[in-house]
Amino acid sequence: LAKTTQPISMDSYEGQEVNITCSHNNIATNDYITWYQQFPSQGPRFIIQGYKTKVTNEVASLFIPADRKSSTLSLPRVSLSDTAVYYCLVGDGPGGFSGGYNKLIFGAGTRLAVHP
Amino acid sequence: NAGVTQTPKFRVLKTGQSMTLLCAQDMNHEYMYWYRQDPGMGLRLIHYSVGEGTTAKGEVPDGYNVSRLKKQNFLLGLESAAPSQTSVYFCASNRRTGRENYGYTFGSGTRLTVV
């Protein structure tokens, strides 16, 4: 399973755009890139997933370059409620090409603090 | 639609005691997982199941057992609790799809303290 590297912590201010970059140099052909958000005392929450190029939903955008060795989660106009830990994961989906069982491995994540 | 429900939410055990954590999902998901999370760390996979009647080991399986007798339930057992098992335990599930993973749905966690 591909290992990911992301900054331990980041600080931002309300209304700013936040970009969190994740490095995954050993990503496999079958791997998707997924981001989760975790608030204190809660389980992680799925934010966004992508395979290549750009994916956007109502919460965030995910930018993936052609070589797929990194990805960037972009949070537009953050608010205080976006203060959380953000995890970047790579892994094969269930029933994927390699028959993987999607044993996603979580790293330490990026602790984002949004200030007034 | 409750999603993933974990019981109990909190528990204090004495060293050597046993207990079972229950995870129930009502989304008809094929895959279920147990993770533990220690302070300041990410989640570590304990065991997982790809379907009713099947289980497999994750990263840190020692000291834990699991069972998936029904598709909607995934049980995590501690036969003889140790202080090193003090942690927050999260259950998750997701559905079997094609290539894509539509994301895990996590429960709210069980905070276990072993004294």
Express each pLDDT in B24-37 by its tens digit: 999 998 889 999 99
Q: Quick one: closest CA in B to A90, which residue?
A: B101
Instruction: Report A:38-67 residues touching B (Cβ under 8 A).
Output: 41-46, 49
Distance from CA of B15 to the nearest CA of A (A): 24
Give, for all 116 residues of chain A, the pLDDT tens digit: 567 899 999 999 999 999 999 999 988 887 888 899 999 889 999 899 888 899 999 999 999 999 999 999 999 999 999 999 999 988 765 433 334 455 667 778 999 999 99
Within 10 angstroms of residue B108's Cβ, the number of other Cβ atoms is 16
**Shortest CA gap B95–chain A (Å):** 8
Average pLDDT, chain A: 86
Nearest to B103 by CA among B43, B29, B5: B29
Give the H or E element holding residue B78: strand B73-78
